[in-house]
């Protein structure tokens, strides 16, 4: 009888998942491979990181706007001002958070090319999860690694000019 000299291999770690939640008609759970369904964009970015100085990287991924638009944000797309009340909260697995407005990513307003990066410097991010990349930012404070939740929110209490009672 022969014995196998191969060692048992442990299963590959699961793919990181990103939850799209909030005021969406089609909330979803997406992996990095799922994000390849959208057109891919490439950017070279330089930003100042508080902990490691100036960083230079190449990123690839879909535009955040395209992914969120397809999730069906609950606003009237024909009414531009209706879109302005929507906020986008992005959270990473490490607890880091960033907040954007819909106007920042909307082509009718700032049209910022914000990416959900699926690769950095040619390395896929399948297991680590996508990264939020804001090429227009000079510092990296809103760069989020390992995104696990994006919440789109347009519903909050009416604001009042009266102070606390």
CB 60 within 8 A of CB 110: no
Residue 46 lies in a domain: yes
**For residue 41, what are its two tokens?**
């964009």
Please determine, for residue 162, whether its predicted confidence score (pLDDT) is greater than 60: no
Higher pLDDT, 157 or 127: 127
pLDDT at residue 160 greater than cutoff 70: no
CA distance 97 to 143: 9
DSSP structure string for 53-93: EEEEEEEEE-BHHHHHHHT-BSS-TT-HHHHTT-EEEEEET
Nearest of 147, 19, 29, 31 to residue 92 by alpha carbon: 147
Specify if 158 maps to a domain: no
Q: Is 122 domain-assigned?
A: yes
The predicted-structure confidence for 20-72, as pLDDT tens digits, reads as follows: 999 999 999 999 999 999 999 999 999 888 888 898 999 999 999 999 999 99
The verdict on residue 56 lying in a domain is yes
Q: Who wins on pLDDT, 82 or 140?
A: 82
Cβ-Cβ contacts under 8 Å for 165 (sequence gap 6 or more): none
The Cα 19–Cα 102 span in angstroms is 18
58: CB partners within 8 A, 6+ apart: 42, 43, 44, 45, 120, 121, 122
Question: Nearest-CA neighbor of 91 among 45, 138, 52, 132?
Answer: 132
Domain that holds residue 149: 17-153
- What is 112-129 written as a DSSP string? ---EEESEETTEE-TTT-
Q: What is the mean pLDDT of the chain?
A: 90
In a domain, 11, yes or no: no
We report the CATH number of the domain holding residue 124 as: 3.90.420.10
pLDDT above 90 for 140 = no
59 belongs to a structural domain: yes
At 109, the pLDDT band (50, 70, 90 cuts) reads very high
Does 102 fall in a domain? Answer: yes
Local structure of residue 52 (DSSP, 8 states): T
48 within some domain: yes
Query: How many folded domains does the chain comprise?
Result: 1
Question: Could you read off the pLDDT of 112-128 as tens digits, one per residue?
Answer: 999 999 999 999 999 99
Q: Which of the two residues, 162 and 32, has the higher pLDDT score? A: 32
């Amino acid at each position: 009888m022969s014995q196998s000299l191969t060692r048992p291999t442990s299963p590959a770690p699961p793919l990181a998942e990103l939850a799209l939640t909030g005021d969406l008609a089609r909330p979803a759970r997406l992996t990095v491979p799922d994000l390849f369904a959208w057109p891919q964009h490439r950017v070279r970015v330089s930003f100042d990181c508080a902990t490691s100085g100036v960083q230079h990287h190449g990123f690839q991924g879909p535009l955040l706007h395209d992914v969120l638009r397809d999730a069906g944000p609950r606003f009237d797309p024909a009414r531009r001002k209706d879109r302005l009340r929507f906020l986008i909260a992005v959270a990473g697995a490490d607890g880091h958070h960033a907040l954007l407005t819909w106007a920042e990513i909307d082509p009718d307003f700032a049209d910022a090319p914000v990416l959900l990066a699926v690769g950095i410097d040619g390395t896929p991010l399948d297991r680590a999860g996508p990264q939020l990349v804001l090429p227009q930012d000079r510092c990296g404070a809103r760069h989020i690694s390992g995104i696990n939740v994006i919440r789109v929110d347009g519903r909050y209490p009416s604001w009042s000019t009266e102070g606390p009672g």
